[in-house]
């Protein structure tokens, strides 16, 4: 999945030890219940008291050794834990009741005997409870005590639910699904039935699978040889989205059974599951569209299924629809048959073996164009009025598909590949096998209104999703902890493929900027390892972040450059061939690489230091003559010393690269593996300068100590001695080191003094980014004069460059993109005469009633200037409502959100949340834009607070959209009052909200902002 430019679970406090001694109602004797599988207590889920039942006994035939030992202990004590309450009642019998109802006092002998027995019993119980990890048995203390107490939850009907873990039991696996669906785009409901063929791995009486929000009306089971479906009881446990089908008899190992379930539900009004979308057709009439988004956990809301990535199966899908509409699914259509008046059924060919999250279907009025390549038909679909914008996507998809087939040496395995533009879509795109769904702005290219940047975005997203057809679809991560295997690889391949096929797009510059931003996130204490243990839905949603995508991709880039492209490619081929149609873990990838390196390098040992640990290293370089001393430590901003987790002793295995003044071409790159805390590199001769981390191909920051002066001098004298990426890398590193306190801010400003000679996009963009961060912090802190001086410094460095920009679409794609960036910035900050020129062009466009053609690369700057006036804003909103170009509408939205009129900003956010004039898919982008401005940054945070429940219902807690909303609405804060407010707000919400990584990251960021201001405010007064 392409997000749009979006540790183990903590146990509740009511721990098992406390509940053991609480009074309980009569406890269920499970010997009377069907055969239930015991739980391993280290994997037990602890539920709130209201939703769980304590079980202190198991059916005889289900006991394992540990339970037998436990029962033996109970028998030795002469007591049964299966019925404690009845035992207590029996013990009361020493008090004899007189006929008149009064109790006679027991004899002294009875009292003494009872006291002794009680003391012995209590002592033995305490010994059993307190012996560390030991069960008292006939043979003595010989086994770890795993089953002191087992916890099962209650189903919705009050009965015991036979499973308590979030993960499904491994005793049943699905082989095949027959799915029939009938969506009704008038009532906005759907009915469905699913037949699931399952295979039994361990004898069981239950089949536990996922279901969420489905109204199940009937469930039956049929054995492999049987012809009669037997009705079965089913239990529901909504907290884990699980249902249990209780078989009438034991299900036998190795046998296949068919579970048949009938159900109905509403089409979702969120962006998850089988959801509904409304749009206006060419005649401005409202139409409905139904589409799916199942990753990560929403297939279960469209049909009951084993909704975990490792449970792969084949799928036969049939969809009943209005004959005026069309349907698409993963596979080509096999047949269409009439059902009733006006309703037909489409049947699709049986799919390949795949995970549930990749299943997809669309029901809508769509048009398409197609092209065949290598036996597969590639088609791009859109609503009819957008059909003239799909040509670029089709040609791009064909080129990329051909490239990937050659690179992986595995043909795309399906006969068709559909790319569909969805009118309302939360992510950038979704890689469903054979049916990739896209947001319209990431698929549709309009030659009149799409800019160079729009073309690059569309190309990148298509490249990402097509890479997934191999990485993710053919070979899938076993569980969500290794999501980076899907997303990191698809991101890496996206940029690698674009460099190979579309070098004119300079996509490597975009990747560089993304790596810089991922490192900002990864430098916080709230970061996480790329491969992290996850269980809950919020934790799984949060894995879709910059660490899985960008850090994962940059680690693969670093490995590729270290191994060489050929060795890396050979390792990928082995990995895909070894695990096709199956699941994999991180180690499987490293093992495949090791097959190629054949003992010359232990890739697993190297990469585990990066994948299983959060953060990244800071490498300090000291040069004395020919001797280069290098030393590594963790790069980490310390915001709260009491909460800071020290990793001082941690060692990365760092593939260092460097170039020197004696030979600074890429072919002269030297490599050195730093797998110790420090090392010494001896050069063959003395050099004038040395630059480490060539082209930023490594995931680390470099501190040059005394050599910063040398590099600053080099940039002033001959900046082209280093590549544009190396220059951007130096700018990024020195500003980060200044924030860390390792270098002075003065030296950082000194380094960028050369920029008036710079003409490359990467270093200019990075410098603008770093200075904009400082400007924003000062502006929001109320330091307006100092903020104006920062802007004056930017104008001094880049003013001539801004003046040189022409208001046209001329030049190379890289030049055009730089023009967009510089003019949009200049107009936003009223620099030079940018806003005057842009306003004049906007007025002419407005006078032509929007018919005049504007240069696409400067369109955003023109719209932004125009939106500053009330009339201009209203006209822009009117044009937004009638425009058929998604590229144009995207630029309009950003301009509308740039107004300084507070009432308009509030209306814009509220309207987008409701999805009336502006779609909810735009809300995250609107909030981010509003947050940038001085009038808007407090409004955006207030809006998030007031609408938190609506936001998390629409976009799901932990989702990429929620991560972006939290980050953008709080990242401008730099006061202790705001820090306390943000902390208090999330603490007042659910535990799931307060424990989100993105919330901790937001708090870390505010603390860093406060710290930065305290350290640097006085210095800035002197510097500027």
Phi, psi of 768 (to 5 degrees): -60, -40
Cα distance between the two ends of the chain: 45
The residues annotated as belonging to the active site are: 465
- Alpha helices (H) along 664-760: 707-718, 724-740, 745-751
Residue 304 sits at φ, ψ, to 5 deg, of: -60, 135
Cβ contact 59:71 at 8 Å: no
Residue 191 DSSP SS3: strand
Q: In this structure, are strands 273-280 and 333-340 parallel, antiparallel, or unpaired?
A: unpaired
Structure tokens at 732: 């990024």
How many contiguous H segments (helices) and E segments (strands) does the chain have? 32, 33
Residues facing residue 223 across a β-bridge: 257
Determine contact, residues 627/994, Cβ cutoff 8 Å.
Answer: no
Are the CB atoms for 933 and 946 separated by under 8 Å?
A: no
**Residue (of 883, 840, 886, 884) closest to 861 by Cα position:** 840
d(CA 673, CA 689): 21
Cα angle: 519, vertex 525, 528; to 5 degrees: 70
Pairing of the two strands 326-329 and 361-364: antiparallel
Closest by alpha carbon to 309, among 771, 97, 729, 1?
1
Radius of gyration of the chain (CA): 32
Which long-range CB contacts under 8 A does 653-656 form with residues at least 24 apart?
A: 653/605, 653/606, 653/609, 653/610, 654/617, 654/619, 654/698, 654/700, 655/558, 655/559, 655/561, 655/562, 655/606, 655/698, 656/619, 656/630, 656/692, 656/693, 656/698
String of DSSP letters for 760-794? -HHHHHHHHHHHHHHHHHHHHTT-HHHHHHHHHHH
Q: How far apart are CA 544 and CA 664, in angstroms?
A: 38
Give the whole-angstrom CA distance, residue 344 versus residue 321.
6
Q: For residue 943, give the nearest of 959, 929, 956, 960 by alpha carbon.
A: 929
Contact 124, 74 (CB under 8 A): no
Name which of 965, 946, 969 is nearest 956 in CA terms: 965
Q: Which of 361, 26, 314, 381 is nearest to 176 (CA)?
A: 314
Task: Please say whether the beta carbons of 467 and 404 come within 8 A.
Answer: yes
Distance of CA 626 to the CA centre of its chain: 46
Cβ 321 vs Cβ 343: under 8 Å: yes
| CA nearest neighbour of 480 among 360, 574, 357 | 357
Cα 147 to Cα 67: distance, rounded to the nearest angstrom = 7
CA-CA distances (angstroms) from residue 331 to 139, 580, 754, 851, 957?
61, 18, 56, 42, 32
DSSP H or E stretch at residue 1019:
helix 997-1023
Residues in the chain: 1024
Q: Are strands 367-373 and 654-660 parallel, antiparallel or unpaired?
A: unpaired
Helix/strand/coil (H, E, C) string of 602-671?
Answer: CHHHHHHHHHCCCCEEEEEEEEECCEEEEEEEEECCCCCHHHCCCCCCCCCCEEEEEEECCECCHHHCEE
Nearest by Cα to 152 from 140, 161, 143, 141:
161
For residue 657, give the nearest of 564, 734, 748 by alpha carbon: 564
């Amino acid at each position: 999945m392409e997000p749009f430019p979006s540790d183990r679970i903590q146990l509740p406090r009511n721990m098992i030890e406390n509940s053991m001694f609480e009074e309980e109602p009569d406890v269920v004797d499970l010997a009377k219940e069907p055969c239930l599988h015991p739980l391993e207590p280290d994997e037990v889920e602890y539920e709130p008291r209201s939703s769980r039942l304590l079980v202190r006994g198991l059916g005889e035939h289900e006991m394992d050794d540990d339970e037998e030992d436990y029962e033996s202990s109970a028998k030795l004590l002469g007591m049964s834990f299966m019925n404690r309450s009845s035992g207590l009642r029996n013990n009361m019998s020493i008090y004899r009741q007189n006929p008149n109802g009064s109790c006679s006092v027991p004899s002294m002998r009875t009292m003494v005997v009872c006291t002794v027995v009680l003391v012995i019993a209590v002592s033995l119980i305490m010994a059993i409870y307190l012996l560390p990890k030991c069960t008292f048995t006939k043979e003595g203390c010989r086994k770890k005590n795993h089953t002191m107490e087992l916890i099962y939850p209650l189903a919705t009907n009050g009965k015991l639910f036979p499973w308590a873990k979030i993960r499904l039991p491994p005793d049943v696996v699905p082989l095949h699904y027959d799915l029939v669906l009938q969506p009704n785009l008038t009532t906005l409901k759907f009915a469905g039935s699913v037949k699931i063929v399952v295979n039994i791995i361990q004898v069981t009486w239950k089949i536990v699978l996922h279901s969420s929000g489905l109204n199940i009306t009937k469930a039956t089971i049929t054995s492999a040889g049987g012809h009669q479906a037997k009705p079965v009881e089913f239990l529901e446990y909504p907290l884990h989205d699980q249902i249990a089908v209780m078989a009438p008899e034991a299900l036998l190992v190795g046998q296949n059974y068919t579970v048949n379930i009938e159900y109905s539900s509403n089409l979702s009004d969120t962006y998850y599951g089988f959801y509904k979308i409304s749009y206006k057709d060419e005649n401005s009439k409202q139409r409905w569209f139904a589409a799916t988004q199942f990753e990560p956990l929403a297939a279960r809301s469209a049909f009951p299924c084993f909704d975990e990535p490792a449970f792969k199966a084949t799928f036969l899908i049939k969809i009943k629809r209005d004959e005026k509409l069309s349907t698409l699914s993963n596979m080509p259509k096999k047949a269409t048959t009439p059902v009733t008046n006006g309703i037909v059924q489409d049947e699709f060919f049986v799919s390949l073996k795949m995970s549930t999250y990749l299943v997809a279907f669309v029901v809508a009025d769509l048009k398409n164009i197609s092209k065949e390549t290598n036996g597969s038909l590639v088609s791009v679909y859109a609503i009819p009025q957008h059909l003239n914008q799909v040509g670029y996507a089709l040609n791009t998809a064909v080129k990329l598909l051909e490239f990937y087939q050659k690179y992986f040496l595995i043909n795309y395995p399906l006969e068709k590949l559909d790319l569909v533009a969805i009118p309302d879509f939360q992510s950038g795109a979704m890689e469903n096998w054979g049916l990739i769904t896209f947001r319209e702005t990431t698929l549709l290219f309009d030659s009149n209104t799409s800019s160079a940047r729009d073309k690059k975005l569309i190309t990148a997203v298509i490249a990402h999703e097509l890479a997934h057809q191999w990485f993710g679809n053919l070979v899938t991560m076993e569980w969500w902890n290794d999501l980076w295997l899907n997303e990191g690889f698809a991101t890496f391949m996206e940029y690698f493929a674009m460099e190979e096929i579309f070098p004119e797009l300079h996509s490597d510059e975009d990747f560089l900027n993304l790596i810089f931003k991922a490192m900002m996130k990864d430098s916080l204490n709230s970061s996480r390892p790329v491969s992290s243990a996850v269980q809950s839905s919020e934790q799984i949603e949060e894995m879709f972040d910059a660490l899985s995508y960008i850090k994962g991709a940059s680690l693969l880039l670093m490995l590729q450059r270290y191994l060489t492209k050929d060795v890396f490619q050979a390792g990928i081929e082995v990995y895909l061939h070894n695990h096709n149609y199956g699941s994999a873990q991180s180690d499987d990838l490293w093992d495949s690489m090791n097959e190629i390196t054949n003992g010359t390098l232990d890739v697993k040992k190297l990469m585990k230091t990066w994948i299983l640990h959060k953060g990244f290293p800071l490498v300090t370089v000291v040069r004395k003559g020919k001797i280069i001393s290098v030393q590594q430590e963790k790069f980490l901003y310390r915001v709260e010393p009491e909460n800071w987790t020290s990793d001082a002793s941690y060692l990365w295995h760092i593939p260092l690269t460097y170039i020197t003044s004696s030979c600074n071409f890429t072919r002269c790159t030297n490599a050195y593996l730093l797998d110790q805390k420090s090392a010494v590199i001896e050069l063959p001769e003395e050099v004038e300068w040395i630059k480490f981390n060539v082209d930023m191909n490594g995931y680390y920051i470099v501190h040059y100590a005394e050599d910063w002066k040398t590099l600053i001098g080099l940039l002033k004298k001959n900046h082209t001695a280093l590549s544009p990426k190396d220059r951007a890398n130096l700018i990024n590193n020195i500003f980060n080191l200044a924030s860390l306190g390792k270098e002075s801010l003065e030296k950082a400003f000194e380094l960028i003094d050369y920029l008036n000679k710079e003409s490359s996009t990467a270093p200019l963009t990075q410098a603008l980014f770093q200075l904009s961060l400082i400007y924003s912090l000062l502006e929001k802190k109320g330091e307006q004069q100092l903020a104006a001086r920062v802007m004056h410094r930017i104008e001094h460095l880049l003013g001539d460059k801004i003046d040189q920009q022409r208001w046209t679409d001329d030049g190379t794609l890289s030049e055009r993109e730089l023009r967009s960036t510089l003019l949009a910035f200049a107009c936003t900050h009223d620099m030079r005469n940018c806003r005057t020129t842009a306003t004049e062009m906007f007025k002419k466009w407005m006078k032509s009633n929007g018919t005049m053609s504007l240069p696409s690369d400067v369109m955003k700057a023109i719209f932004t200037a125009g939106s500053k006036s009330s009339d201009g804003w209203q006209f822009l909103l009117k044009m937004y409502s009638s425009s058929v170009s998604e590229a144009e509408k995207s630029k309009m939205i950003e301009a509308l959100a740039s107004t300084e009129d507070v009432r308009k900003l509030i209306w814009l956010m509220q309207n987008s949340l409701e999805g009336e004039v502006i779609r909810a898919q735009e809300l995250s982008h609107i909030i981010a834009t509003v947050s940038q401005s001085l009038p808007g940054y407090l409004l955006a945070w207030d809006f998030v607070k007031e609408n938190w429940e609506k936001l998390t219902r629409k976009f799901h807690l932990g989702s990429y959209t929620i991560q972006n909303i939290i980050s953008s609405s709080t990242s401008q804060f730099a006061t202790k009052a705001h820090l306390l407010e943000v902390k208090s707000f999330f603490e007042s919400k659910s535990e799931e909200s307060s424990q989100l990584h993105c919330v901790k990251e937001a708090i870390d960021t505010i603390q860093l902002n406060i710290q930065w201001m305290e350290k640097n405010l006085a210095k800035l007064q002197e510097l500027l």
